[in-house]
């Protein structure tokens, strides 16, 4: 059987405010996600979902436990190495699109590939293809403020796919969309991850 794309083993995380005020958020979380698997994390507000997603995406460090990405333990990697793994293996989409306002849709989509060392011609070619896959042909040169909310989130999916990640992590990606746009977003997302066998 394949290695899990993402494995969390006994992950712990707490936050302290002063010496007496400590909240334990994650108390020994175990999770294995296999290639192509889609998993939804559902829990009340404040339960620790975002904390778990940030740790899973190597954006925050746990206080205890181990993380494996495609079978490699990432615990002892330095920050540069972690950034490299994150860029190659993980795509993020948040509730707020976090697109760079001064870049066009196409440039936003191509940026992660450029940062990962892909040459410009290839990054732009792949970005064009992704833009087409999220049904935004014709909007290449629009800045984020020239796109609707639904279109911005579709650019955010395309950007998250820029480096062909093995895992997509999304934190309430449809939280700001109306019902119609949620449907569009989900249909597009599900098509995309099944074509590319991405773990969500």
Task: Please report, as ranges, the residues that interact with ligand ADP according to CB under 6 A.
Answer: 15, 23, 25, 43, 45-51
**Rounded least distance, CB 12 to ligand ADP, Å:** 13
CB nearer to ligand ADP: pick between 50 and 83? 50
Residue with tokens 């181990």: 66
Q: Minimal distance in Å, beta carbon 44 to ligand ADP?
A: 7
Of 40 and 43, nearer to ligand ADP (C-beta) is: 43
Give the nearest distance from C-beta 17 to ligand ADP in angstroms: 6
Query: What six digits make up the tokens of 61?
Result: 């460090």
Q: Which is nearer to ligand ADP, 48 or 165 (CB)?
A: 48
DSSP character string of 83-132: HHHHHHHEEEEESS----TTS-HHHHHHHHHHHTT--HHHHHHHHHHHHH
Rounded CA separation 75/77 (Å) = 6
Nearest distance, CB of residue 93 and ligand ADP, angstroms? 15
């Amino acid at each position: 059987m394949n290695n899990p794309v993402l494995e969390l083993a006994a992950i712990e995380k707490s936050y302290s405010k002063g010496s007496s005020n400590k909240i334990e958020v994650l108390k020994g979380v175990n999770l294995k996600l296999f290639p192509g698997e889609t998993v939804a994390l559902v829990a009340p507000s404040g339960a620790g979902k975002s904390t778990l997603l940030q740790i899973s995406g190597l954006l925050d460090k746990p206080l205890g436990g181990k993380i494996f990405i495609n079978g490699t333990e990432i615990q002892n990697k330095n920050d540069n190495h972690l950034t490299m793994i994150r860029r190659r293996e993980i795509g993020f989409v948040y509730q707020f699109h976090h697109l760079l306002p001064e870049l066009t849709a196409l440039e936003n989509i191509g940026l992660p590939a450029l940062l990962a060392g892909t040459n410009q011609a290839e990054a732009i070619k792949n970005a064009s293809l992704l833009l087409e896959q999220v049904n935004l042909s014709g909007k290449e040169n629009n800045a984020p403020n020239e796109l609707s909310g639904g279109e911005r989130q579709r650019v955010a999916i395309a950007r998250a796919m820029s480096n062909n990640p093995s895992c997509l992590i999304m934190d309430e990606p449809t939280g700001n969309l109306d019902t119609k746009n949620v449907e569009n977003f989900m249909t597009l997302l599900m098509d995309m991850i099944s074509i590319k066998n991405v773990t969500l």
